[in-house]
Amino acid sequence: MSAVRITLDAGAKGPRIDRNIYGHFAEHLGRCVYEGLWVGTGSKIPNVRGIRKDVVAALRKMKLPVLRWPGGCFADEYHWMDGIGPRAKRPTIVNTHWGGVTENNHFGTHEFMDLCDQVGCAPYICGNVGSGTVREMQSWVEYITFGGRSPGDKSPMADLRRRNGRKEPWKLPYFGVGNENWGCGGNMRPEYYADEYRRYQTYVRDFGGNKVFRIACGPNDGDWYWTEVLMREARDRMDGLSLHMYSLAGGWEDKGSATAFDDRGWFKLLAKGLRMEELVAGHAAIMDRFDPQKKVALVVDEWGAWYNVEPGTNPGFLYQQNTLRDALLAGVTLNIFNNHADRVRMANIAQLVNVLQAVILTEGAKMILTPTYHVFEMYSVHQDATRIPAAVECGQAGPEEARVPGVTASASVDEDGRTHVSLCNLDPNAPAAVEISLRGIAAREVAGRVLTAPAMQAHNTFAKPNAVRPAAFGGARLAEGAVRADLPPRSVVVLELI
Ligand code: AHR
The rounded Cα 439 to chain-centroid distance in angstroms is: 32
Closest Cα partner for 425 from 394, 469, 462?
394
Whose Cα sits closest to atom 3 in ligand 1? 72
pLDDT (mean) for 409-432: 97
- Cβ partners under 8 Å of residue 459, min gap 6: 258, 259, 321, 322, 323, 324, 370, 371, 467, 468
Q: Establish whether residue 350 lines the binding site of ligand 1, counting it when its CB lies within 6 angstroms of any ligand atom.
A: yes
Confidence of residue 412 (pLDDT cuts 50, 70, 90): very high
Q: Which atom of ligand 1 is nearest to the CA of 98?
A: 6
Q: What is the pLDDT of residues 228-246, one digit of tens each?
A: 999 999 999 999 999 999 9
Edge-to-edge, what's the strand order for the sheet holding 471-472?
386-388, 407-413, 419-425, 491-497, 446-451, 471-472
- 458-478 pLDDT tens trace: 999 999 999 999 999 999 999
Q: How far is the CA of 95 from the centre of ligand 1 (A)?
A: 14
Q: Is the peptide bond before 70 cis (omega within 30 degrees of 0)?
A: yes
What is the predicted pLDDT for the residue at 1? 77
* From 77, 111, 142, 180, active-site residue: 180
The model's pLDDT over 25-64, given as tens digits with 9 standing for 90+, comes to: 999 999 999 999 999 999 999 999 999 999 999 999 999 9
pLDDT score, position 153: 77
- 173 CA to middle of ligand 1, Å? 22
Ligand 1, atom 4, lies closest to the CA of: 72
In the residue annotation, 302 being an active-site residue is answered as yes
pLDDT(323) > 80: yes
Q: Is 27 in the pocket of ligand 1 (CB under 6 A)?
A: yes
Whether 179 lines ligand 1, by a CB cut-off of 6 Å, is: yes
Phi and psi angles of residue 145, each rounded to the nearest 5 degrees, phi first: -115, -10
Q: Is 76 in the pocket of ligand 1 (CB under 6 A)?
A: no
pLDDT at 293: 98
In the chain, how long is the greatest CA-to-CA distance?
75
pLDDT band at 249 (very low <50, low <70, confident <90, very high): very high
Q: What is the pLDDT of residue 312?
A: 95
With a 6 A CB cut-off, is 119 part of the ligand 1 pocket?
no
**For residues 389-417, average pLDDT:** 97
Cα dihedral 391→396→400→402 (10° resolution): -60
Interval between CA 29 and ligand 1 midpoint (Å): 9
Tell me the CA–centroid distance for residue 277 and ligand 1, in Å: 21
Per-chain mean pLDDT for the chain: 97
What's the 320 CA to ligand 1 centre distance in angstroms?
15
Confidence check: pLDDT of 150 > 80: no
Residue to probe by mutation, ligand 1, list 98, 244, 300, most atoms within 8 Å of CB: 244
Centre of ligand 1 to C-alpha 186, Å, is 14
pLDDT tens, residue by residue, 3-35: 999 999 999 999 999 999 999 999 999 999 999
Q: pLDDT tier at 481 (50, 70, 90 boundaries)? A: confident
- Residue 152 pLDDT more than 90? no
Q: Ligand 1: distance of its center to the CA of 484 in Å?
A: 42
Nearest atom of ligand 1 to the alpha carbon of 74:
6
Atom of ligand 1 nearest to the CA of 180: 8
Spatial distance between the Cα atoms of 471 and 468, rounded to a whole number of angstroms: 9
Catalytic choice (111, 302, 377, 496): 302
In the chain, % of residues over pLDDT 90: 97
pTM, entire model: 0.97
180 catalytic residue (yes or no): yes
- Residue to mutate, 97, 302, 348, ligand 1, most ligand atoms under 8 Å from C-beta: 302
